[in-house]
Structure 1
């Protein structure tokens, strides 16, 4: 609760909570806190400000329901379009020009399908905690599979992709969702990295947590943009200036999945130097850390 966090000396802005048990009459509150210190600089208390944001939160719920409904209705016919286009592309009797035109249709239909899936994921995350179907999973093997799948695109972009991971790391995870996290981070790193650079992916165990790192030598992120990086639909000024494609949903979805696993995601970055994303996931009682090599 905000009062407990403030009593521990934490300062924050716009922490949103719902007050009341009845869904029809409960109110949404935005809470901000600042520490109060005595003349010696010791923590003496906290000041909290509460603002009623019920109307805003209700409007957000309506918007999210609309986005989810429209996205769902769009995905069904678009999936059919993609399927029939791919069937046509398998016809060896097609003229070369027709094949090229169908490939353009397929590429753009796939792009729309990914965008719709991202919108659905965003609406689901906004609606509440993301449900995870956790099963025993080898995180190291999952990471190798994702890296191997990304190598052809990296090779075509002229970017080197390296991986350092233990032979195995058993954890309880939603495999499909964690694959989505890794794919998003790899796509993000490639998108913002120029040809001739390197992206390094690593997996290790630190302080009872699995730490997955994706480090690139790309354009980097300014300090002003880092605070908003995981906000949905946010795109950095440099990305817009360079006309890099994207709508700013991947990192927001990634954070939601990581937090639903009880983990956290952080980023270190410097303009013109590159960015390093770190995903930390709790090992859990069923996880087994890898034996030291050698």
Structure 2
């Protein structure tokens, strides 16, 4: 199955490389090709990591952590979700220690790049799909001890699934929801030694996912 998926993706990754050899491309066209190439490589890594998810479910996964900048990884994820943000009319705003982030901000954590990227993509996709049109999603990087990250969106988790939010196939009211996004995020967090929590408030109509990282 993984081989069947990887064969056409190899072509998707290779074609932008060939097209970029054309010296007549505009900067915008090169940006588009770079985006396609990066997305293709990311998809290949996600396919390769599908076995990791299976092992996490079995409890046999062994992680291999290294230092990575979570801010940079999150920016890549946000860039890949631009079409969804436009479709749902939402914005993602990055904060650093509760203030609007700038280009110099970093949050280096011990992690696995592909798995943390997958986790952030799943959680931000969930936040986008759950947010009302015209609202902002706030991602806050807390450079404290321990380091943490929170994702806050307007809207509440339905009461029927609050106690089972991270369980497999638990979803409600989403047209294309599978109930796997939060579930796989929890699997990855547990495997990497992180703590992940969900809080939702009817009073302020807001939901926050918080991930606390190991020092």
Q: Residues 120, 170 of structure 1: CA spacing in aligned structure 2 closer, same or farther, 3 A cutoff?
A: closer
Q: Greater CA deviation, 119-128 or 258-267? A: 119-128
Matches within 5 A, 1:60-79: 74-79=1-6
CA 1:137–1:115 in structure 2 vs 1: closer, same or farther (change >3 Å)?
closer
CA contact (8 A) 2:56 2:187 kept: yes
> How far 1:131 moved relative to its partner?
2.3
Is the Cα contact below 8 Å between 2:65 and 2:111 reproduced in 1? Answer: yes
Deviations 1:238-282 (A, max 9, x none): 33xxxx213211211111111222221111114692321111112
Change (3 A) 1:231 1:154: same
Which structure has the larger Rg over C-alpha atoms? Answer: 1
Question: Structure 1 residues 119, 169: CA separation in 2 closer, same or farther (over 3 Å shift)?
Answer: closer
Summarize the Cα distance change of 1:148–1:87 in structure 2 as closer, same or farther, 3 Å threshold: closer
Q: Give the superposition deviation at 1:83.
A: 5.1
- Measure how far apart 1:119 and its partner are: 6.6
Paired position in structure 1 for 2:141: 203
- Paired residue total: 183
Q: Distance in 1 between matches of 2:47 and 2:187?
A: 17
Which blocks of at least 5 consecutive residues in structure 2 are unaligned? Answer: 20-39
Aligned pairs for 1:28-67 within 5 A: none
Determine which structure has the larger strand proportion and give its number.
1
CA distance in 2, matches of 1:214, 1:170: 18
SS at match of 1:278: strand
Q: Which whole-Å CA distance do the structure 2 matches of 1:84 and 1:141 have between them?
A: 27
Q: 1:269 to 1:118 in 2, by over 3 A?
A: farther
The aligned runs of 1:1-294 (5 Å cut-off) are 74-82=1-9, 120-165=51-96, 167-206=105-144, 208-218=145-155, 220-236=156-172, 238-239=173-174, 244-270=175-201, 273-283=205-215
**Could you state the TM-score of these two structures normalised by the residue count of structure 1?**
0.53
Gaps of 5+ in 1: 1-73, 92-109, 284-294
